[in-house]
């Protein structure tokens, strides 16, 4: 029996990735964190494709996309992101990457580069994918679609605590500004903007724990 394809979209710091990972474990699915793919390309660009004044040279990046190999490996029960054979799971969570990833994510060339990789991963079912345009663009025929949202205050707190756990220096004002800017850029970009799919189930988890959010999502899946 074919396992389902699940799309989870939503705003930054609503817990999309960690929630998707747990649900994948519960249901025996593969979890693909698409945000890590865009962050990986952002890291490559910052390290290899900048101008003399440290701005990303997009045409240069586009010419070098064939050099980028992104993959996920399971290590100690965690899915770890690798860029050209190097573990980048911590490096891609820094503020520098967070401040720059929207520029990369709104480029049509980048989205096209990653689209077939993502679709191919879901071809045979049995996958849960999270991002910002999964249910609308990448997997419009997904069996289940969810859209996660939460207040900016709650998301700021979650993001700040995540950075602290990673040992990354940050302050809450900067985190909130980064999230607000990211929301605006993601929602207004020309290609594949962040929006709820017409048939997606909206979950506001401002006042829900991670476990409560997971249970709510599973309740929808198990009713079908």
pLDDT for 51-71, tens place per residue? Answer: 999 999 999 999 999 999 998
Range of the domain at 95: 5-222
Cα-Cα-Cα-Cα dihedral sign, residues 98, 25, 9, 151 = negative
Beta strand segments in the chain, E: 5-10, 30-33, 70-75, 78-83, 86-87, 127-131, 144-149, 201-204
What's the pLDDT score for residue 7?
Answer: 97
Task: Assess whether pLDDT exceeds 90 at residue 196.
Answer: yes
Would you list the DSSP string of 78-89? EEEEEETTEE-T
SS3 at position 209? coil
What's the pLDDT score for residue 134?
Answer: 94
In terms of Cα–Cα distance, which of 73, 66, 101 is closest to 88?
A: 73
The CATH code of the domain that includes 196 is 3.40.50.300
What's the pLDDT score for residue 80?
Answer: 83
Measuring CA to CA, how many Å separate 155 from each of 67, 78, 158, 195, 220?
Answer: 34, 23, 5, 18, 24
Strands of the sheet containing 144-149, edge to edge, are 30-33, 127-131, 5-10, 144-149, 201-204
**Cα 46 to Cα 68: distance, rounded to the nearest angstrom:** 13
What's the pLDDT score for residue 77?
Answer: 63
Based on the structure, what is the number of domains in the chain?
Answer: 1
Averaged over 10-18, what is the pLDDT? 93
> Is the Cβ–Cβ distance between 129 and 118 less than 8 Å?
yes
SS3 at position 8? strand
For 156-168, the pLDDT digits (tens) are 999 999 889 888 8
What's the pLDDT score for residue 1?
Answer: 73
At residue 83 the predicted structure's pLDDT band, cuts being 50, 70 and 90, is very high
**Top mean-pLDDT range of 31-35, 81-85, 220-224:** 81-85
């Amino acid at each position: 029996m074919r396992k389902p394809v699940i799309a989870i979209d939503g705003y930054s710091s609503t817990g999309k990735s960690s929630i998707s990972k747990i649900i994948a474990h519960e249901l025996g699915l593969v979890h693909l964190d698409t945000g890590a793919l865009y962050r990986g390309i952002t890291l490559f660009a910052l390290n290899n494709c900048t101008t003399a004044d440290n701005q990303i040279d997009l045409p240069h990046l586009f010419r070098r996309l064939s050099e980028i190999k992104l993959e996920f490996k399971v290590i100690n029960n965690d899915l770890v992101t690798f860029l050209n054979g190097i573990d980048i799971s911590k490096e891609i969570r820094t503020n520098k990457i967070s401040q720059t990833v929207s520029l990369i994510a709104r480029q049509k060339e980048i989205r096209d580069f990653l689209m077939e990789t993502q679709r191919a991963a879901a071809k045979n079912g049995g996958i849960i994918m999270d991002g910002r345009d999964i249910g609308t663009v990448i997997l419009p025929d997904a069996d289940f679609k969810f859209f996660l949202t939460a207040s900016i205050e709650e998301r700021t707190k979650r993001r700040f605590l995540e950075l602290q756990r990673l040992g990354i220096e940050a302050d809450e004002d900067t985190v909130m500004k980064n999230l607000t800017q990211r929301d605006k850029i993601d929602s207004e970009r020309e290609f594949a903007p962040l929006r709820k799919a017409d048939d997606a189930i909206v979950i506001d988890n401002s006042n829900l724990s991670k476990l409560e959010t997971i249970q709510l999502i599973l309740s929808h899946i198990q009713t079908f």
